[in-house]
Amino acid sequence: MDAFKINGGNPLKGEVTISGAKNAALPILFSALLSQTPIRISNVPRLRDIETTNKLIAQFGADVHWADDNDVVIDASNIEHCLAPYDLVKTMRASILVLGPLLARFGHAEVSLPGGCAIGARPVDLHIQGLKAMGATIEVDNGYIKATNEGRLKGANIFMDVVSVGATENLMMAAALADGVTVIENAAREPEIVDLANCLNGMGAKVEGAGTDTLTITGVEALNGEHHSVMPDRIETGTYLVAAAVTQGDIKCLKADPHALDAVIAKLQEAGAQVDFGDDWISLKMEGRPKAVNIRTAPHPAFPTDMQAQFVALNVVAEGTAKTTETIFENRFMHVPELQRMGANISLEGNTAISTGVDQLTGAQVMATDLRASASLVIAGLVATTETQVDRIYHIDRGYQKIEDKLQGLGADIVRISV
């Protein structure tokens, strides 16, 4: 199993190129299942979750191949079956996103229930309810969601009582091929939803309102190939910016999208960082110790849950006391006990972490428990006074392309080892 060894103390300096967004690339790759002709997707990050997605799509019978370093071509004209098996689905929750496209195009789909995960139970009831509202018959049997539909799905009015990124994406993809108009109210407004809508519209879909809380989708009979470039990863960008702030560094992120990062930039400025940006870059300079900042996660455009752990790493070395409140996932504080082992002064009260920054963290052997928790431990390691070993970094490989190479390029002392 791989681990990172980190010797902290170097301020991050220089330029880092941001990869395509994992959370946009995954639904966009799955949207290829809606298309009768090949689709080419550029700026796809090279990550474990992307490999899992490609494997899942290929096992339905589609032809999936890398056409270039970051370009994937998918030809789903011939699909042999519509069964998504537990072995693949259990390794990546986003696999549930095959349900809408397969059902809409082929009238049936069997998808393993993804099961709970480290950060929370993460049910899929909204996905199922929305598809039922569009006329599908759905049963859950032996751990599988079994969905069927006679002919095309029917357009429907769907109100989602929880804002869900994945359910919005699944229903938007299904509605793209439905008969009639679907209106999704209380839809998620994340930039990745907009990127997916743009890709679908390029394939011939009629999706309006992406980026607002009401989506109107007029179904079409068929979708066809498209060449789409995935948006930059706002969470990867935010992670490097926080790492630079914590190490009192000076970095520039290239091929980034600063407009997708408003809430994160506001918090970095509140922490005392100087942040500048242009159309496709963002830079951060931090002089002196950051100031602790209160955080409350909520659906976009509020502060993203996927940046919570990284800001906890900032708060535990910042000047002052801060409250970090997690409102999206019920168990997304597993980095807290690991940070305590590195000397952090932090405690948990319900869904709030209360921290008072310490002058210095000390290195320790710590365990990554989920994707962003791993990132927060790496950030903590970058400022710790002695060596840190972060174990189980397969979590980080799900979502960060070549993180150790990128951090080394910024001057960090981090190496991958086999343990």
Binding of ligand PEP by 308 (CB under 6 A): no
Binding of ligand UD1 by 120 (CB under 6 A): yes
Binding of ligand UD1 by 166 (CB under 6 A): yes
As measured in angstroms, the least distance from the Cβ of 86 to ligand UD1 is 18
The tokens for 331 are 């168990």
* Amino acid code (one letter) for 223: L
Q: Which of 162, 222, 266, 415 binds ligand UD1 (CB under 6 A)?
A: 162
- In 58-187, the DSSP E strands lie at 63-68, 71-75, 83-84, 108-112, 137-141, 144-148, 157-159, 181-185
Pick the closer one to ligand PEP by CB: 14 or 301: 301
- Residue 260's nearest CA partner among 287, 241, 245, 246 is 241
Please answer whether residues 284 and 309 qualify as being in contact, where contact means their C-beta atoms are separated by less than 8 angstroms. Answer: no
Distance between CA 215 and CA 160 in Å, rounded? Answer: 12
Binding mask 183-222 for ligand UD1 (x = CB under 6 A): -----x----------------------------------
Q: Which of 236, 306, 391, 404 binds ligand UD1 (CB under 6 A)?
A: 306
The tokens for 99 are 């349900």
Q: Which of 51, 63, 125, 139 binds ligand UD1 (CB under 6 A)?
A: 125
Binding of ligand PEP by 228 (CB under 6 A): no
How many other CB atoms are found less than 10 A from the CB of residue 170?
28
Pick the closer one to ligand UD1 by CB: 378 or 410: 378
Instruction: Mark whether 117 is an active-site residue.
Output: yes
Give 56's contacts (C-beta < 8 A, 6+ positions apart): 84, 88, 89, 92, 95, 98
Binding of ligand PEP by 233 (CB under 6 A): no
Q: Which of 43, 95, 247, 305 binds ligand UD1 (CB under 6 A)?
A: 305
As measured in angstroms, the least distance from the Cβ of 375 to ligand PEP is 9
Pick the closer one to ligand PEP by CB: 192 or 391: 192
* Amino acid code (one letter) for 163: V
Binding of ligand PEP by 94 (CB under 6 A): yes
Binding of ligand PEP by 371 (CB under 6 A): yes
CA distance readout (Å), 159 to 26, 115, 132, 185, 327 = 24, 24, 13, 5, 21
Residues near ligand PEP (CB under 6 A) = 23, 93-94, 306, 371-372, 399
